[in-house]
Structure 1
Amino acid sequence: MTNSGVIRRVAGKELALFFASPVAWLFLAGFAAASLFIVFWAESFFARNIADTRPLFEWMPLLLVFLCSALTMRMWSEERRSGTLEHVLVQPTPLWHFVMGKFFACVLLLLLALAATLPLPVTVALIADLDWGPVWAGYLATMLLGAAYLALGLFVSARTDNPVVSLLGSVALCGLLYLLGSDLLTGFFDTEQAETLRLLGSGSRFESITRGVIDLVDLFYYLTLIAVFLTLNVYTLEKIGWARVANTPRQRHWRAGVTLLLANLLLANALAEHWSLPRWDVTEGRLYSISSPSRELLSNLQEPLLIRGYFSARNHPLLAPLEPQLKDLLLEYAEAAEGKVRVEFIDPLEHPELEQEANQRYNIRPSPFQLADRHQTALVNAYFNLLIEYGDEYRVLSFNDLIEVRTSTNGQPEVLLRNPEFEVTRSIRDVLYAYRAGGDLFAGLERPVEFIAYVSDAALLPDALLAYRDSVVAQLQRAVDASDGMFSFRFLDPQADDGELARRIQQDWGFTPMTHALDSERDFYFYMTLADAHQVVQLPTADFDPGQFRKALDAGLRRFARDFTRTVALSAPQPSAQMAQYNLGGPGFANLENAIARDYLIARENLADGSVSPEADILAVVAPRDLGEAAIFAIDQFLMRGGTVILATSPFSVEPEKDALALRDWPRGKLRDWLRHHGIEMANQLVLDKRHARFPAPVQRDSGDHQFRDVRIVDYPYFLDIRGSGLSAHPLLGSLPQVTMAWASPLQLERRAGIRINPLLWSSEEAWLSEDDAITPRQDETWSAPDQTTRHLLGAMLNGRFESYFQSPPALPETTGEGDGIGTLLKRAPGSARIIVFASNDFLSDRVLGAQVRATGTQYLGPIELFSNTLDWSLQDEQLLQIRSRGNFNRTLPPMEPQQRLSLELFNYGAALAWLVLLALASWVLGRRRRARYRRELGL
């Protein structure tokens, strides 16, 4: 019989014996039930609200300890107890054939057991956006770890004739192998020692693969374990037939061969840690590998870039496992940069000079952590920081920038890397641009830019503007001298040649004649623009103050420069302490401001003065209230200059009132008329949706004749869960998978000539409208939807040649230079002008984001990422759009009714039971055929 024939017959025999035992079925059913129970109950799958299968694989190393020990407990011990092992030992077939036959039988049984869990990822994929890469990687890791445990269990079984002793011995050894690399043990050691233990333990490598990164080093580790224990199994069986006191050449050869084989396998495994072996990131979007925008950025490096990691040897146990993941990512930067990036890892406590430099030059300080060892609890100051340095420019990332802390369903903190590639790439971009620009705007220009001023003859200009014109010319000449040919200027008289140019600029840009208060009959022009081959930008006159011109010029040039930090003019309500009385998150828009400040300069804008800062590149108006004519004029004229205006506005806002939530009318003043002028209307209603998020809302509870208010996490249809078809394919949305819109109103847009409309956000088809101001949930209340539901537009972008809302400049508050009485009004915007509107006052607020934290257990920044993407796209800074939304908790489950959740859970239990019944039926059919074949062979 061939070698494969022996292995196949041994495996077939073991499978038949296994399925003939009731205990075997008990183990298979117990494994399936335990796996699903852990997912749905211990890990609270639906409350966790993340569309992945991590809960299944997190517990798999422990479940496999018992399953694999149960599968192998009788394999050799039963042979020894019954005396059939002697028959095996005297066969001419090598012993390793029998070992491999039993091993393959156990592996097949493990596969059949794992198949009972397959309905779980299928269920998640049907109801949400599942990344299948980590799922298949998780099953691969399970098979490798299970195969290693099976090999160990076979080795233990071969050393005893008692199945119970084999079971207990296998559980102990497999458990020890897992414990070596677990946080339970490594927390008692410093970082270097803990990392060594993780390399020896089976659990840490398992976690690395299940997150979606298949490293050849990890595969080699598991294959080494399998080979070691299968070799020891063969050697154990071979020794049984030896005389106790003999020392024959055959025995010496066996001992030497086994020793050399094991030593080589262990040595190769140790050396593999220092080899640069391939790794495969199988996650969708390659979440754990640097992406093409990062590689493109690295290709622009001209000087060496330093990335230095400051990691203490003794760090917090929850941060220690993240350190190797972060190091692997940083080493990828070095590899992708082909020598232009130098990566260093140091422990500042072991290098006092580097620690002093970190403290004094980079302001890197250790963070205090409370640690417990075998003897005491102590407060330790530890480092977990990154330094990115390019030339004399640098950025520092602390552990707050790098990690995400999530409260798991069992109340324990879960610490993961947030989105390290985004943070590191953004820092590299910042230092690169700052170094290349070096304060010189013209260094960032990709194409020549021309300053074109449409200015009347000096005889028509007021005396104040003559001096202003002379100052502008002098400043422009200095700019030309410093631009190295990238900048030029010219002045054109619109009233020359019978006013042909005046008619053209009025038609194209809405540039109408200006007047002076002291001489209203004398018209003149004084408009300033910047232009290249692709766009035209108008510069604000800043009340014709010569001291403000250079600021306006620099702000305009930044619109054309790639390598300069842009300025966002932000108008948002100031914090109010009343907003936090229900502990629903901090007041105001601090999270929004912090997000903007990480990439851009912020100019806090007071629109009431009738103007927008001349340095502003984009205007964001969030939750505007009671905007007067001066504020609308500021917004209108910023738009007319070709700017982008982002609006987050709605007729309503929600505020706490005593023990409830109050829906307040939110007077927007003249803004409503201005939006209507541009064809944008918002109904005085709120959108509710069956596809909604959860919310920790005040809930009214009735008890007898009394009413009480509790704060509970409830399904809340006013928190619209937007995903899938609700997110347009516009690049502005980047890779954003989901957004929650709170208390939003429906948008209605009227198509106008010359205006392009791009819908951005829609509710689902199961949405409806309500005018009811009773928005506080009651206990056990179900929100009934009408028979007719439809989707509603919640966000849109309008782009094109807008017409000004004003026919003449309004009376503005007195400001510096206003006394000159020069009336300036732009009546038509260039084609680059945009209005981006989101129909909610509150979806960006801290209290709403804080509510999402309490509802999901993790920091929720979907709306902030949407706003950041909007800024990036609008300012043509799209480099980070692809990787901004690659965080850990973006894939969430859709809203579901309790009955639907119960049905899905029961479906998984039923599918596992059906699989076991199918196995039992197949086993019975095969057994019947086998018995029939034996009868025919015996002539019965």
Structure 2
Amino acid sequence: MKTRPVARRVAQKEIGLFFASPVAWLFLGSFAAVCLFVFFWGSSFFARNIADVRPLFQWMPILLIFLCSALTMRMWSEERRTGTLEHVLIQPSALWRFVFGKFRSCLCLLLLALISTVPLPVTVALIADLDWGPVLAGYLASFMLGALYIAVGLFVSSRTDNPIVSMIASVILCGLMFLSGSGVFTDFFSTSTAETLRHFGTGSRFSSITRGVIDIRDLFFYISVTFAFLALNVYTLEREGWARLASTPRQRHWRAGIVLVIANLILANMWIEKLPIPRLDVTEGKLYSISQPSRELLRQLHEPLLIRGYFSGRTHPMLAPLEPQLRDLIREYEAAGIGNVRVEFTDPSLHPEQEREANERYGILPTPFQVADRYQSALVNAYFNVLVQYGSEHVTLSFSDLIEVRTSTSGAAEVLLRNPEFDITRAIRDVLYNYRSGGDLFTGIDNPVELIGYVSDSAQLPPQLQAYKNSIEAQLQRAEDASDGKFSYRLIDPEAQGATVARQIYDQWGFTPMRTAEEADHEFYFYLTLADEHQVVQLPTGTFNPGEFRQALDSGLKRYARSFNRTIALATPAIDPQLREHGLGGPSFANLERALARDHRIVLEDLTDGEISPEADIVVVTAPKQLGQQAIFALDQFLMRGGTIIIATSGLTVERNNGGLQLRDWSSGLEEWLAHNGIHVQRQLIMDRQQSKFPAPVRRGSGDYQFNDVRIIDYPFFIDVRRDAIARHAISGSLPQVTMAWMSPVDVERRDNRRVSKVLWSSDRAWLGDGANLMPRSNSDGELQPWQRPAGQARASFDLGITVQGRFDSFFATPPVSHNGENLVARSPESARVVIFPSNDFLSDQVLTAQVHASGTQYLGPLELISNTIDWALQEELLLNIRSRGHFNRTLPSMERQAQFSLEVFNYAAALTWLGLLALWHKLRQHRQRRRYTRELGL
């Protein structure tokens, strides 16, 4: 008979005994069932609408505690109870071989249990764009953590002869190791202490790996702790053969040896934590590592760049786990900077001088967070800011710039770093280019800028705004003193002198009196505007925080300064303020304006004067309405001079009306000009079975009455564009998904000296609708009636975004009369471009707000698309590839309820099938063993 290694024979014996017990199948089945239940029900996978398996791994550390305790509870305790432990102790083989054999058998069983959950990521990958990096990292973390728990369980089992006691003690010990690094325990300590405790917590290191970052320090921690408990297991068994009161050299050597092993493992973990060991980022797109564009930007540094993190010792529990992630990313900038990047981290509340500098020089103030523990609820003023400084230029990032919050269907908030590399790299770009342009903001301003504040008398203001007014007046005076005559300010009381100014600002900008929630009948004004001889820009006041004012002022002044920022001429429809309040008059684009203003200088263009600002590098026209000859001439001549025009237009628009949606004709005035250039937009709307969600008003009939409800539904007018419908184009190639709302078909003629490129298109399951049924209908039972494709109309794919580049001929033979026949450019150079998106509404505030309600997070897809388009047109591709690397932008496709139920049933069936295969394997294994024994015995 062949002899096999002891460890292998022990492992095979234990696996056979495990599967011979019905309790084993109960544990494996329960583990699979609980994992599936938590994934589909506990975390509401389909309602969550994110294409990842993060909910599975969020609960895995807790589930593994019970699974591993169940796997190990009888391993040594049963040997003690039946008296076979003495037989093991007198074997000539070393005890560690028996320990390793049992450890090996438990690892095998753990692996079989984890395999039962594999259908989950496979299912997600089949229906959506799954990032496999965090999934594989999650299974690696689960295996490593499970191995640690098994080692703990084996040690506990060797100390008792009762399996139930072994299981309970293992659960308690493993639970304590998990809790030591969790927020439940660390919230009682400062951030620095909490961070130290997280190094000892098994769950905190687990979450670090499952997000897709494999750190050697985390793996070494799991391996070393596993080895330590296995060593304790061997030591415990070794002691069983010792005389109780004796102290022999062998016993002393064993005690000293085990102490040295554990001490060395502790010291090794402390030493390796200090080493600059690179992390392996396995996420698609390297979400947690700086990319090549960022590294190329750092190579342009010629002076030291400072990146300083301001993090408080006590902060909000949801922000605390994000701080080490942000620290790690910032340190990568330091490593990539090769001596030109200096990184600092500080807690301003512990250093008064640094806090004063942060407040006064950089405008960084603590943010009040409400935190609660078991005993009380308190307000904590905490810092979570990043400063980027180069020479005299600086940019600050607050927590609202760095994080993304997604609200689940249960109301719980999921907080993650949004896209920190994009924000930090953009800040580095801003300070670098500003420094190159002279460093002084006012040196780039040609025409004097004046801040005009329409502010009520102090006696009329609430106390909070009185203090805010006094603070900003001091800041404005300092800015005026430093501007060398380029900046001034004045505050006007609109209600003075018969309220003439109040009527004027209402007629001109729609400024209405403000009210506080406490004093609804008390009215006052507090509006701030920046103006030069060309344009007026309203300055945001936000939450009336004095610490944020200087940053808002500088951001506003940059619109008037000549700097590295390219100038975008943005033309949006003029809407009466009273109509805008009720969602009428056409689409509004405040979110678009704010998004573009973060990267570029924005000029709000009035095309009716027949001219486009000579500073404009690109023109963006959204929802143009009844443009006259002067406006068309301005666009035509801008194109003829080799410019780029981005147009979002259609012959239809959608607006709210009496609680519902109404389709309106929308004449842009550009129809003939577009047709002259070979671009034809049809007056219909595209509907697609590959659709996104929308909180739509639903008309419900009951008897003779009609009621309007709001439901989040799959809406075919909101086209869900996925990777298979996104071109490998600089504009769209980095987008994982984008929702295009209320789109019309567009056709572009292919002509000589033109290059036509498709950017986006619908699926091949789309069709054309007349828009008469924008609102879904429901029957008397409340069931929605699906939209039906008109009979005889075939499904097809429609273009949703097209670029046209090359030579264009002018639409005009002569300029309009007001231009006196001068300065007509008849033909464009080959650099001229037109980018067409056939919708008035996909960038509108109404659509973006609706997407926020539907997804639970700020939806940036269309804004990222238009920002990428501008960067491509301006040949500024630094940020193109990292702009869309957020965590919540991988969403699930639209699915029928029956399809969702079928997928859930499939996963339960797959888990049962796997258990059935294991049972069949066990039966075949037993049958082979019986045949071998029979053959060896000669029976």
TM over 0.5: yes
Partner of 2:19: 19
SS in 2 for 1:394: strand
The alpha-carbon deviation at position 375 of structure 1 amounts to 3.9
The one-letter code sitting in structure 2 at the alignment partner of 1:799 is Q
The alpha-carbon deviation at position 354 of structure 1 amounts to 1.1
1:678 is aligned to 2:684: no
Q: How does 1:66-465 map to 2 (within 5 A)?
A: 66-438=66-438
The one-letter code sitting in structure 2 at the alignment partner of 1:794 is L
Q: Name the CA shift for 1:390/1:772 in 2 (closer, same or farther; >3 Å).
A: closer
CA–CA distance in 2 between the matches of 1:214 and 1:824?
62
CA–CA distance in 2 between the matches of 1:116 and 1:620?
52
The one-character-per-residue Cα deviations of 1:67-126 (angstroms, maximum 9, x if unpaired) are: 111111111111111111111111111111111000010000010011111111112222
1:757 is aligned to 2:756: yes
CA contact (8 A) 1:690 1:766 kept: yes
CA contact (8 A) 2:698 2:777 kept: yes
The alpha-carbon deviation at position 374 of structure 1 amounts to 5.0
SS in 1 for 2:808: coil
CA–CA distance in 2 between the matches of 1:126 and 1:629?
52
The alpha-carbon deviation at position 420 of structure 1 amounts to 0.4
CA contact (8 A) 1:181 1:204 kept: yes
Partner of 1:726: 725
CA–CA distance in 1 between the matches of 2:684 and 2:803?
21
Stretches of structure 1 lacking an aligned partner (at least 5 in a row): 445-541, 544-557, 813-817
The one-character-per-residue Cα deviations of 1:331-380 (angstroms, maximum 9, x if unpaired) are: 00000111100000001111111111111111111111112245422111
SS in 2 for 1:894: coil
The one-character-per-residue Cα deviations of 1:634-658 (angstroms, maximum 9, x if unpaired) are: 1111111111100011111111111
CA–CA distance in 2 between the matches of 1:579 and 1:127?
39
CA–CA distance in 1 between the matches of 2:798 and 2:73?
62
The alpha-carbon deviation at position 574 of structure 1 amounts to 5.0
SS in 2 for 1:245: coil
CA–CA distance in 2 between the matches of 1:190 and 1:380?
12
CA–CA distance in 1 between the matches of 2:373 and 2:894?
43
Q: Name the CA shift for 1:187/1:439 in 2 (closer, same or farther; >3 Å).
A: closer
CA contact (8 A) 2:312 2:348 kept: yes
The one-letter code sitting in structure 2 at the alignment partner of 1:340 is N
The one-character-per-residue Cα deviations of 1:116-153 (angstroms, maximum 9, x if unpaired) are: 11111112222222111111111000000000011001
CA contact (8 A) 1:726 1:762 kept: yes
CA–CA distance in 2 between the matches of 1:379 and 1:850?
30
CA–CA distance in 2 between the matches of 1:692 and 1:893?
10
Q: Name the CA shift for 1:36/1:686 in 2 (closer, same or farther; >3 Å).
A: same
The alpha-carbon deviation at position 730 of structure 1 amounts to 1.3
CA–CA distance in 2 between the matches of 1:577 and 1:928?
83
Partner of 1:743: 742
Stretches of structure 2 lacking an aligned partner (at least 5 in a row): 445-532, 535-557, 779-783
The alpha-carbon deviation at position 11 of structure 1 amounts to 0.1
CA contact (8 A) 2:640 2:827 kept: yes
More deviation, 572-581/335-344: 572-581
Partner of 2:786: 782
CA–CA distance in 1 between the matches of 2:926 and 2:770?
68
CA contact (8 A) 1:652 1:841 kept: yes
1:808 is aligned to 2:817: no
The one-letter code sitting in structure 1 at the alignment partner of 2:601 is L
The one-letter code sitting in structure 1 at the alignment partner of 2:433 is Y
SS in 1 for 2:166: helix
CA–CA distance in 2 between the matches of 1:578 and 1:718?
24
The one-letter code sitting in structure 2 at the alignment partner of 1:265 is L
More deviation, 696-705/312-321: 696-705
CA–CA distance in 2 between the matches of 1:92 and 1:3?
14
The one-letter code sitting in structure 2 at the alignment partner of 1:793 is D
Q: Name the CA shift for 1:4/1:304 in 2 (closer, same or farther; >3 Å).
A: farther
The one-letter code sitting in structure 1 at the alignment partner of 2:788 is S
CA contact (8 A) 1:663 1:774 kept: no
Partner of 1:37: 37
CA contact (8 A) 1:47 1:856 kept: no
Q: Name the CA shift for 1:440/1:850 in 2 (closer, same or farther; >3 Å).
A: closer
CA contact (8 A) 1:31 1:67 kept: yes
CA contact (8 A) 2:814 2:821 kept: no
Q: Name the CA shift for 1:2/1:371 in 2 (closer, same or farther; >3 Å).
A: farther
The alpha-carbon deviation at position 580 of structure 1 amounts to 6.8
The alpha-carbon deviation at position 439 of structure 1 amounts to 7.2
The one-character-per-residue Cα deviations of 1:710-732 (angstroms, maximum 9, x if unpaired) are: 11100100000111231111112
CA–CA distance in 1 between the matches of 2:931 and 2:133?
45
CA–CA distance in 1 between the matches of 2:407 and 2:229?
39
The one-letter code sitting in structure 1 at the alignment partner of 2:82 is S
CA contact (8 A) 1:579 1:847 kept: no
Tell me how many residue pairs correspond in the alignment.
816
Partner of 2:797: 791
More deviation, 781-790/687-696: 781-790
The alpha-carbon deviation at position 4 of structure 1 amounts to 7.2
Partner of 2:900: 901
The alpha-carbon deviation at position 397 of structure 1 amounts to 0.7
CA–CA distance in 2 between the matches of 1:47 and 1:775?
23
CA contact (8 A) 2:187 2:194 kept: yes
SS in 1 for 2:595: helix
Partner of 1:829: 828
CA contact (8 A) 1:405 1:858 kept: yes
The alpha-carbon deviation at position 811 of structure 1 amounts to 3.1
The one-letter code sitting in structure 1 at the alignment partner of 2:892 is L
Q: Name the CA shift for 1:409/1:97 in 2 (closer, same or farther; >3 Å).
A: farther
The alpha-carbon deviation at position 581 of structure 1 amounts to 6.0
CA–CA distance in 2 between the matches of 1:858 and 1:240?
59
SS in 1 for 2:573: coil
The one-letter code sitting in structure 1 at the alignment partner of 2:628 is G
CA contact (8 A) 1:42 1:410 kept: no
CA–CA distance in 2 between the matches of 1:4 and 1:315?
57
CA–CA distance in 2 between the matches of 1:178 and 1:223?
16
CA contact (8 A) 1:188 1:374 kept: no
CA–CA distance in 2 between the matches of 1:4 and 1:191?
53
SS in 1 for 2:711: strand
SS in 2 for 1:883: coil
The alpha-carbon deviation at position 706 of structure 1 amounts to 2.9
The one-letter code sitting in structure 2 at the alignment partner of 1:372 is A
1:881 is aligned to 2:890: no
The alpha-carbon deviation at position 2 of structure 1 amounts to 11
Partner of 1:628: 628
The one-letter code sitting in structure 2 at the alignment partner of 1:319 is L
The one-letter code sitting in structure 2 at the alignment partner of 1:5 is P
1:930 is aligned to 2:929: yes
CA contact (8 A) 2:50 2:890 kept: yes
Partner of 1:771: 770
The one-letter code sitting in structure 2 at the alignment partner of 1:684 is R
The alpha-carbon deviation at position 232 of structure 1 amounts to 1.0
CA contact (8 A) 2:159 2:236 kept: yes
Q: Name the CA shift for 1:803/1:440 in 2 (closer, same or farther; >3 Å).
A: farther
The alpha-carbon deviation at position 563 of structure 1 amounts to 7.8
The alpha-carbon deviation at position 708 of structure 1 amounts to 1.8
The one-letter code sitting in structure 2 at the alignment partner of 1:790 is A
SS in 1 for 2:290: coil
The one-character-per-residue Cα deviations of 1:471-516 (angstroms, maximum 9, x if unpaired) are: xxxxxxxxxxxxxxxxxxxxxxxxxxxxxxxxxxxxxxxxxxxxxx
**TM-score when scaled to structure 1?**
0.84
Partner of 1:499: none
Partner of 1:464: none
CA–CA distance in 1 between the matches of 2:281 and 2:4?
35
Partner of 2:476: none
CA contact (8 A) 2:392 2:439 kept: no
SS in 2 for 1:730: coil
The alpha-carbon deviation at position 211 of structure 1 amounts to 0.8
CA contact (8 A) 2:53 2:135 kept: yes
Structure number with larger C-alpha Rg: 1
SS in 1 for 2:342: strand
**TM-score when scaled to structure 2?**
0.84
